[in-house]
Structures are given as structure tokens and as C-alpha cells.
Amino acid sequence: MADALESAVSTVLNTLYGWEGPVELQETRKDFEGDATLVVFPFLKLSRKSPVDTAREVGEALLAATPMVVRYNAVQGFLNIVLSSQQIQERFDVIRTAKAWGTATVDPKAPAAMVEFSSPNTNKPLHLGHVRNILLGHSVSRILEASGRKVVQVQIVNDRGVHICKSMWAWKQFGGGITPESSGTKGDHLVGDFYVRFDQEFRAQVRELMAQGLDEDAAKAQAPCMREVQEMLRQWEAGDDEVRGLWATMNGWVYDGFNQTYRRLAVRFDRNYYESDTYVLGKQDIEEGLARGVFYRRDDGSVWIDLREDGLDEKLVLRRDGTSVYMTQDIGTAIQRFKDFSIDRLTYVVGNEQDYHFKVLFLILKKLGYAWADQLYHLSYGMVDLPSGKMKSREGTVVDADDLLDEMESTARSLSEELGKTDGLSEDEKAQLYRVLGHGALKYFILKVDPRKRMVFNPEESIDFNGHTGPFIQYSHARIRSILRKAKGRTSSWSWAEVAVDERSKELIQVLDRFPEAVQQAARTYSPAVVAQFAYDLAKAFNGFYQANPILNAESDALVAFRLDLCGTTANALRRALEMLGIEAPERM
């Protein structure tokens, strides 16, 4: 409906003024009559008339050009357009008969879009920062699928390096053979505890050395625990059986823990890439690029690329001893992924502190001659803070993902019981409801914010049955499902000859009609916030419709059937939108 109206307005503007630019319509403000509003100020130079006269001229031309428009009103430089009832009826006929309204058909033969997200280190459990990354990556994947793309979800697990050896060293020194099974501790938590324990020991040794007269940098370099960790890393790289065995065991504990958290978040991956495998990638690609003049070798033997003419800097891609840097690995891993899968797009969900890294990576791959380099995208998202400030992993002050999920479920329990939302539910149903509400509140609160913005997460604000929250939308869905259960067995036949569309029904149909464009816009911009806003707008529109109109007690059977049809269509759209956000839509609350 919006597309058809924009097309009609565009034709009128071209006929009147020769306008060939884009046309954007806005939602009409509630205090004016109208279904869409055109701002006419951009056309005044062409019309050579006042704003209100321009608006009237366009309005009259629309009335003559299309039966879609039945009235208009001009308020200063704003043309408020009223659509015909027939147009609303036709659109609802399309919406209610569509099998999956708002989603496009996926071509199984087309190349897939790959999304990389999560990508944790194996020295600590997942935390709130990871949660935003995971939720964004998973939701973007679902939205791309809804827009008509196949999707491959991957992660790169940072399972090697000095940070891993720190946890290993601390376990050997202080663990006493403890395991997740013997301690009853989740594997990633246990390894994370030893990462924090290393940092405590390291700080103590640095303070002791500084007390003996060393400056801070020298003390950090000479701290015995750090030297032993560096030796452990050297042994790992040399393939030492004992070190490699401990590394595999502790990483296995972490993977088990990660998988438990992923299951709680209802997230999966089609392929896990491991840095212990990928760190050898990219060297051959660098050598080939060196031969072609893409890179150059300095006198010390190191290999670089000069990107200053492109507005960037010079970048090291191979150390003088021939070892790789992160850029080398990322070059090789990107190339490998396009070999592993039939994809034509790769999106990296990574925080905005890596903006420069990805600019360099994409440019290098383009200079290496890969046509798909233009289809690489960095979904650069802002960090998540708490009301108390930033989190610090080494100091053990992060908000653990599992603890956060537990807290959200507990908060959902307290609020649900206080509001009487659990009456008549069994204990199992209650536990399920607390999980669905708590996780929905967390996911919606994070995803409703534009990914590029830094955000503050406040658990107490995220659970509210009446605000701009996940539970409000979930409750709206549950309310509709309750109505439909009560209506079971009622007549389902109706026709437009028997039904008049009231203003609230019209508003609800118009919001429903925005669903396909919301999905496509979210896919274009990689922003789940667009779908989150649509879901909220739809829930609000339904509640306005519900408050204004009796449904099961409407004055005629045909009107009951129409309103039930509208309820069912709305429930389906709410459920589908929530699915794109990774949120469950409860049947009862």
C-alpha cells in the first residue's frame, strides 16, 4: 500500500513539476486526519507557490490521478492523504491470505549470505558484551532469511595465544586437579576463574618487583608468571604433547560451557572456525600478492602494504621472521570461507573498536583481486555498559551471560507473580513462562537499540508489561491467542458487504501492511531495531483496536468473524517478527 501510494505521488510530482527525485511519505500525526503525509517543502522551488498552495495542488492532482486517494487536507507545508476504504480492504485481503506475510521466498539454488558473530576467547565465559554480539548476529541472520536469502552462521573461536596460556598456567599452579565435574562448576566459568587468578598473581608479582626498584614496564616483563606463560606459548607452538594436551582439555571444558549458553539463547552455528587452525592461513596469499606488487618487503624482511593513497596507513602483514599477524589470518580465513561455502556476501558482527581493522582488511582483499570484496560488511556495533559503568574481564567484574539470564528469569518471575499473570498455570508452565519472558525482555531491550549506538543495559527497565519492551509485545500476542481460543467454533465467514472498517481496524491493517518493507529495510541496514520497532507499533495498534472494539461480542456474526480474522493475522505477524528477533511468542500469560 505504501509503495503504491509513493508511486502515485511520484508520478503526480513528475507531471506537475518535473520532479525525478525520491519520494518519502510519513505517518500522519494523530491530531490530523490522514493515512500518510507528504512534506512539500522540497518542491517549492519547482512549484513557485506557497507551501499550502503547493500541498493543495498536489492533493487535487492525486484525487484526479488515483482512486486510492479519497480526501486530503493541507496544513502549511504538509499534505495529509486519506486512502479509500477499498484500498484498505484490498490490502487486508492480500495480507490475510498470505502464507508467510512479511517474508520473501528463499531461492535454495542462490548463493548464501554468511554472518560471523560471537567469536569468543576460550579463557573466560560469555558475558553481556558477547550477548549483544550474539543477539545481533542471530537476529540479522533471521532477518536476511526473511528477506529471501539463505544464511550460513559461523564463528571464529579464539582458542590460542597468551591469554589461553594464562588460564592454563593458573590451573597448573593453583587448581589441584580440579575439573568442572569435581567442582560442579560450568566449564567456561571454571577456566575464567583461573584467568582472573592469573591476573591477581601477576599484579602481586609486579608490585613486589617494583618494590625492589624496577619500573613498571620492567616489572611486568620480568614477572616470573608472565615469563612462564610465554614459555608455555612457545611450547604450544612447538607442539609439546603435555602443553597441547592441557590446552585441549581446558578448551573442551570451555566449549561445553559455551554450548550450554548458546542453547539457552537458542543460537546455533553452521560452522565453527578455530584460530588454532586458521592462524596458518593467509601466508601463501601474502606471498602471491608480494609477487604481484600488492605488498612490499622491507629491509628487515617484514612484509607491508601501503594504503596511504587510499586515506589509510601502512600495514604490517607478515613479521620479519615470517610469522603472521591477525590481519594475515583474517585475509586467509575470508578467502577460505568463500571456498568452503557457496556465498556471495560475508558480514562480520564485531564491535566498533575494530572499525579501522576491517577497512584495511576489505581494501586488501579488493587489491588482491577478489570481486566479492565489495560484498564484505562490518556490522560495527557499540559497546554495552551497565548503569555502574564499564566491565573488566581480567578483574572479574563482567556481567556473566548465564548469571544475566538467571537474573532475567528471576525478575520475570517476581513481576509475573505480582501482577497475577501466572494464575491457573502449572509449575512447569510457570517456569517456561519465566524463561520466555525473561529472555524476551533481554533480547528485545538490546535489539530495539540501533546497533551502531553505545547502550546502557538496565535489567529493571527491560521487563515491563506496558512499556516499549519485549514482555509488552509478548503479552499482546498471548492476549490475541486467548481471544482466538475462546472463539473456537464460532463462524468464520464474512464479506466486505457486511463489514465496515472502523478507524482502529484501519490503523491496524495499515501497520500490518508495513511488515514486508520493515523486513527489507532491516535487511538492507543490518538493523534488527527496525523489526523491533515494527513489532512494538503493531502491538500498540492492536491494543488500540482491542480497547475500541468488542470482538467476541460484536453486533453481528460477520463483524465477529472479521475482527477474529484481523486478530489472527496480527498474532501471526507478531509471532513472525518476534522470531526474527530470536524471541518466543507465548500462547498464554
d(CA 38, CA 78): 6
CATH architecture of 2-83: 2-Layer Sandwich (3.30)
Q: Is residue 2 over pLDDT 50?
A: yes
Q: Which of 315, 328, 237 is nearest to 287 (CA)?
A: 328
Please write the tens of the pLDDT for every residue from 145-197: 999 999 999 999 999 999 999 999 999 999 999 999 999 999 999 999 999 99
Percent of the chain with pLDDT over 70: 98
pLDDT at residue number 93: 94
Residue 581 cell numbers, joined: 528477533
Q: Determine the pLDDT at residue 423.
A: 79
Phi, psi of 378, rounded to the nearest 5 degrees: -105, 110
What lies within 8 Å, CB to CB, of 169 at 6+ separation is 198, 225, 228, 229, 232
- Percent above pLDDT 90 for the chain: 86
Does the pLDDT of residue 467 top 90, yes or no?
Answer: no
Q: Measuring CA to CA, which residue among 109, 131, 128 is closest to residue 118?
A: 131
Q: What is the mean pLDDT of the chain?
A: 94
In sequence order, the 6+-apart residues with CB closer than 8 A to the CB of 97 are none
- Phi, psi of 277, rounded to the nearest 5 degrees: -95, -45
In this prediction, residue 388 carries a pLDDT of: 65
What's the pLDDT band for 240 if we cut at 50, 70, 90? very high
Q: Looking at 126-140, 141-155, 283-297, 414-428, which range is the least confident one?
A: 414-428
**pLDDT at position 3, please?**
83
pLDDT at 292: 96
pLDDT tier, 463 (very low <50, low <70, confident <90, very high otherwise): confident
Contact partners, residue 471, CB within 8 Å, separation at least 6: 412, 437, 440, 441, 463, 464, 465
pLDDT in tens, 247-259: 999 999 999 999 9
Q: Which of 66-70, 387-391, 524-528 has the lowest mean pLDDT?
A: 387-391
Q: In terms of Cα–Cα distance, which of 266, 260, 274 is closest to 141? A: 266
Return the C-alpha cell found at 534.
515494527
Domain 401-580 architecture? Orthogonal Bundle (1.10)
Model confidence at 100, pLDDT cuts 50, 70, 90, reads confident
Q: What is the pLDDT of residue 389?
A: 52
**Higher pLDDT pick, 101 / 293:** 293
| Spatial separation of the C-alpha atoms in residues 322 and 280, rounded to whole Å | 11
Q: Beta strand 25-26 with 36-39: parallel, antiparallel or unpaired? A: antiparallel
Compute CA 250 distance to the chain's CA centroid, rounded to the nearest angstrom.
30
Decide if pLDDT at 41 tops 70.
yes
**Residue-level pLDDT at 397:** 53
Instruction: Please tell me the predicted confidence (pLDDT) of residue 513.
Output: 94
202 and 265 in contact (C-beta within 8 Å)? no
261-274 pLDDT, tens per residue? 999 999 999 999 99
Q: Which whole number is the average pLDDT over 10-16?
A: 96
Helix axes 528-548, 470-486, angle to 10 degrees: 50
The mean per-residue pLDDT over the stretch 362-378 comes to 97
Three-class SS of 475-530: HHHHHHHHHHHHCCCCCCCCCHHHCCCCHHHHHHHHHHHCHHHHHHHHHHHCCHHH
Per-residue pLDDT tens digits for 381-436: 998 887 765 544 444 457 899 999 999 999 899 888 888 877 788 899 899 999 99
Mean pLDDT, residues 220-233 taken together: 96
For residue 151, the tally of other CB atoms under 10 A from its CB is: 21
Please answer whether residues 489 and 552 qualify as being in contact, where contact means their C-beta atoms are separated by less than 8 angstroms: no
Domain ranges of the chain: 2-83, 161-273, 401-580
Of the candidates 381, 517, 487, the residue with the CA atom closest to the CA atom of residue 25: 517
| Mean pLDDT of all residues in 26-32 | 89
**Distance (Å, rounded) from C-alpha 397 to C-alpha 382?**
19
Lowest model confidence (mean pLDDT) among 144-153, 214-223, 429-438, 452-461: 452-461
